[in-house]
Amino acid sequence: MKIIAIGGVAASMSAVSKLRRLNKDAEIIVYEKGEVLSYGACGMPYYISDEIKDPKRLIARTKEQFLKLGIVVHTNHEVIEVNDKEKTIKVLNIKANEIFTDSFDKLIIGTGASAIIPKWENVELENIHVLSVYEDSIAIKHKLDTENIKNVTVVGAGFIGVELVEAFTTRGLNVTLIELGEHILSSFDQDIAENLHQHLIDKGVSLKLNEKVIKFEGNNKIEKVITNKGEYLSDLVIISVGIIPNTKFLRNSNIALAKNGAIKVNDCMETNIKDIYAGGDCSLIYNRATKEYNYLPMGNNANKQGRVIAENINGSKFEFLGVLGTTVIKVIDMEAAKTGLTEKEAKRLHKNYKTVMISGRNHAGYYPNPENITVKIVYEQGTYKILGASLVGRKDTALRINIFAVAIQSNMTTKELGFLDLAYAPPFAGVWDVVAVAANLAK
Ligand SMILES: Cc1cc2nc3c(=O)[nH]c(=O)nc-3n(C[C@H](O)[C@H](O)[C@H](O)COP(=O)(O)OP(=O)(O)OC[C@H]3O[C@@H](n4cnc5c(N)ncnc54)[C@H](O)[C@@H]3O)c2cc1C
């Protein structure tokens, strides 16, 4: 069996690594258009902040290490076409500028996504970056280390934008964050996300909400960001306004794509074409909370999908149960997390829902340095079934979301969660943990 994987990061590499463990004999070839593969993209903001000094620490395995496992990786090779009828791909060897054809028995598509760059005037000026791939993080850090950069503007307050705001603030830079919407982190409910606004402002971030970038100005290099409300001196700009699946090379194939270009897959990560699988940021994923196939481009999802692909290619019918859209973010000294349905999703899906929102302590009030955690639960009216939860606060907030992920996946009610045997000792929780208190207040 000859297996080709396109893309060399989370989805593809977890698929081929697992496949190798399951099947010692299969021929496995990977084509990756970049120079570096198998790295933790999620760690890039912490390399830029200088908390991680050596970028190589982000790399899980090198090409040579994969070769020792019998996985042949071709870097600087871009797949430019898939012929699903003939089971062949066209590959561009970028360095040699040569195109050749290869054939497969099974194909794995794990090509990820690229940052969207709007066609703003002067967007091509120097020192305007996106943070999408490893090389972007090297370029951004190099500029911070070698140029006299004082003022940084981040456009877009999604996960990557906010993580970069933290990175630049950690480096002591003047940071402006421009966001088109009313609040940061648009996937969260406003009443959760806006708890982070004052914290950003307290940390010196100039937060501009409901503001739209119009153009950039500068002489070769960026100097100013112009919006509908003002202009901001900038030595460096990061555009983080969303991502788009890397699936353009499939346009002449019969592989079915969703509206945003993501590959449609079933619960075995099969596309509509036999023997072609997809996973990670280039594909949709089943969301148990919405009961839809959604676009949820997250590293943990990509890794799980990769393993499901391997199991299925190897012949065991392994159906993925789906995800809950669980996400977590650190915002300087605060943390936020969510799982299942937010209130706005419950509204969109016309659920018969209610919410409860409270603030409580991370540990016993008499134990030193207690901090507040805000908990919001979305539950079904009448049945009390938990549909979703969001948390925001300081220390000890984020990982409490995992209680809710288990509760939702097990169809628990607020009543069951309220009396769950959660751990208690003064340094860790109150005798009634804030999660249980919130659940017990659901009426
Ligand atoms: C700054 C940042 C922070 C993040 N933080 C988190 C986090 O905290 N938690 C979380 O869950 N997720 C996080 N993510 C998202 C996570 O990194 C992605 O979900 C994950 O990397 C997706 O893996 P993937 O394999 O699908 O795609 P990618 O990691 O994008 O890899 C795809 C690879 O395919 C290659 N490729 C594309 N087209 C072709 C082609 N035609 N031919 C050959 N090769 C091709 C690309 O060069 C790329 O290397 C973060 C992402 C970024 C950028």
Write the DSSP symbol of residue 184: S
For ligand 1, is residue 300 a contact (CB within 6 Å)?
yes
DSSP letters for 155-169: E--SHHHHHHHHHHH
The single residue of 2, 22, 40, 42 carrying the catalytic annotation is 42
Task: Please give the share of the chain, as a percent, with pLDDT higher than 70.
Answer: 100
Residue 280 confidence class, pLDDT cut points 50, 70, 90: very high
pLDDT score recorded for residue 314:
96
CA distance linking residue 134 with residue 111, whole number of Å: 14
pLDDT score recorded for residue 183:
98
pLDDT score recorded for residue 319:
94
Decide: pTM greater than 0.75.
yes
Helix (H, G, I), strand (E, B) or coil at 401: helix
Q: Report pLDDT digits (tens) over 95-145.
A: 999 999 999 999 999 999 999 999 999 999 999 999 999 999 999 999 999
Write the DSSP symbol of residue 122: T
pLDDT score recorded for residue 414:
98
| Inter-axis angle of helices 299-313 and 10-22, nearest 10 | 30
Nearest-CA residue for ligand 1 atom 38 is 111
Positive or negative: CA dihedral 265, 271, 274, 278 = negative
pLDDT score recorded for residue 96:
98
CA distance linking residue 105 with residue 96, whole number of Å: 26
Rg (CA), the chain: 23
List strand residue ranges (DSSP E) for 188-291, in order.
Answer: 206-208, 213-219, 221-227, 231-233, 236-239, 243-245, 276-278, 285-287
CA distance linking residue 315 with residue 330, whole number of Å: 40
Provide the token pair at 280: 């990670």
Residue 184 confidence class, pLDDT cut points 50, 70, 90: very high
Run of H or E residues at 361:
strand 353-361
Q: Which amino acid is at 9?
A: V
The closest of 440, 437, 421, 415 to 365, measured between CA atoms, is: 437
Active site residue 42: yes
Q: Is 289 left (phi over 0), alpha (psi -120 to 50) or beta?
A: alpha
How many whole angstroms from 11 Cα to the centroid of ligand 1?
8
The angle at the Cα of 88, spanning 87 to 91, to the nearest 5 degrees, equals 155
Nearest atom within ligand 1 for CA of residue 34: 47
How many whole angstroms from 112 Cα to the centroid of ligand 1?
5
Nearest-CA residue for ligand 1 atom 6 is 42
pLDDT score recorded for residue 112:
98
Run of H or E residues at 29:
strand 27-31
How many whole angstroms from 374 Cα to the centroid of ligand 1?
31
Run of H or E residues at 364:
none
Contact call for residues 226 and 215 (beta carbons, < 8 A)? yes
Contact call for residues 12 and 110 (beta carbons, < 8 A)? yes
CA distance linking residue 68 with residue 424, whole number of Å: 48
CA distance linking residue 94 with residue 395, whole number of Å: 47
Helix (H, G, I), strand (E, B) or coil at 100: strand
pLDDT score recorded for residue 64:
96
pLDDT score recorded for residue 321:
93
Provide the token pair at 39: 């790295």
pLDDT score recorded for residue 412:
98
Contact call for residues 134 and 44 (beta carbons, < 8 A)? yes
State the average pLDDT over residues 39-49: 97
Q: Report pLDDT digits (tens) over 390-414.
A: 999 999 999 999 999 999 999 999 9
Contact call for residues 34 and 76 (beta carbons, < 8 A)? yes
For ligand 1, is residue 7 a contact (CB within 6 Å)?
yes
State the average pLDDT over residues 147-171: 98
Q: Report pLDDT digits (tens) over 60-75.
A: 999 999 999 999 999 9
State the average pLDDT over residues 81-95: 98
pLDDT score recorded for residue 123:
98
Write the DSSP symbol of residue 262: P
State the average pLDDT over residues 244-250: 98
State the average pLDDT over residues 368-392: 98
Write the DSSP symbol of residue 270: B
The residue with tokens 């989370």 is: 10
Provide the token pair at 161: 């934008």
Q: What share of the chain is helix, strand, coil (3-state, %, to 5)?
A: 25, 30, 40
Mean predicted lDDT score pLDDT of the chain: 97
State the average pLDDT over residues 81-106: 98
Count of other CB atoms within 10 angstroms of residue 218: 17
